[in-house]
Structure 1
């Protein structure tokens, strides 16, 4: 099994286009297509738009996959633990609704819009169709989002803020600036401000502790999967 240090040399520099494009494009596609979901003419077709978004983003990630650090089991236990703690913190803070008070002091353009809160059992007349979309939604939540976001936030940006030639920066390199900037930007990309800030700081810690991007992907996947289970069990659709 490869080590995280070896992983830095396993993504061939000659593959695909620029390294920045490889790390950033899946995230950009996700954000742009996500914005389209809220466009009024497309709202009735949300399940189809979301499915297309997930397929396109996953396809772009797979295309560039050889650019990214190769999978490693180093520190995955820390990732699982952080993912479990993270979902508990996220749900607890969401229920307290503290983010709304924080949002009140921010400029409106700086605060991320609320989630769509799509209830498939109400919006989709067929029970089978509702469960089919739930399967797609969980796939996006627990697989595609962790892969895409971790490659961007902790594979690219946290290293790019250390050095423009980010691939030369070892995974897990700490600087106060890169740590803080990623926490702030990640937070502003989510409506659950306080929960996002604490969660992101925790996953940054996993990165520094394990030196393994895949431990962060694991943490993200565990948090999102458990969050999805919670949403289905409680009907807390506002969380997705």
Structure 2
């Protein structure tokens, strides 16, 4: 594979850039860029980055049947949606400002397609496996364990489903910190759920399917209930 010739340092930009573009555009004040244009810009910029670096990314499929991974992922994602709502509910005020129809559909589109891809590739595909390599280098007695993992190794050398407690803790913590403080409990629980799915199915496809199912079901839940603060 082409990626086998690339170190984790070289792979950092392809995995990180879509996330930075998405969150960077999201941070633009509404007075400068309205919600519809903001989400449109996120869709275009993030999709362009994912397309440009597509050959750099780890395979989504693992050793098991992909159709079963998708089905299991969707089922786990619906459980994750209920878990997210239950854990976030105590920290938000019911209601919230409703999104316009164009804003809702643009957000649902990005949350159900692009976000699951770039977040799972970054958190479970890159960060977790880089952390696994770092832990393994430390256990092997390497004095420069992180340098060895980051500068001289490739995450594509890590077998699907590989994990260590520390690797899960690191990836889950970073996933959690990427959310608002009111969402930390929900995000931490969800990050652990996705890590468990990675271990169980040994692929990223199930994690992406779960993440998409969670985001889409959450979008329609808040639209149906009017509890917009949950999204």
Q: TM bucket by the smaller chain?
A: 0.7 to 0.9
Aligned to 1:148: 118
The TM-score with structure 2 as length reference comes to: 0.79
1:144-183 correspondence runs (5 A): 144-163=114-133, 164=149, 165=153, 166-183=155-172
What is aligned with 2:80?
Answer: 86
If the length of structure 1 is used for normalisation, what is the TM-score?
0.76
Match of 2:20 in 1: 28
Task: Give the Cα–Cα distance (whole angstroms) in 1 for the partners of residues 103 and 80 of structure 2.
Answer: 25
Structure 1 pair 28/80, CA: closer, same or farther in 2 (3 Å)? same
8 Å Cα contact 1:155/1:213 also seen in 2:
yes
Alpha-carbon distance in structure 1 between the residues aligned to 2:205 and 2:186: 22
Greater relative contact order, per chain length (Cα 8 Å cut-off, separation 6+):
2
Q: Is the 8 A contact 2:75 2:210 kept in 1?
A: yes
Superposed displacement of residue 12, structure 1: 6.9
Say whether 1:237 aligns with 2:228.
yes
Aligned residues: 201
Question: Equivalents in 1 of 2:156, 2:22: separation in Å?
Answer: 23
Unmatched 5+ residue regions in structure 2? Answer: 134-148
Residues 141-193 of structure 1 deviation map (CA, whole Å, 9 limit, x = unaligned): 11111011011101111111122222222232111111011112211221211
- Match of 1:223? 214
RMSD: 2.3
**Quick one: distance in 2 between partners of 1:10 and 1:230?**
42
2:138 corresponds to which residue?
Answer: none
Distance 1:201 1:136 in 2: 28
Structure 1 gaps, min length 5: 1-8, 101-116, 122-129
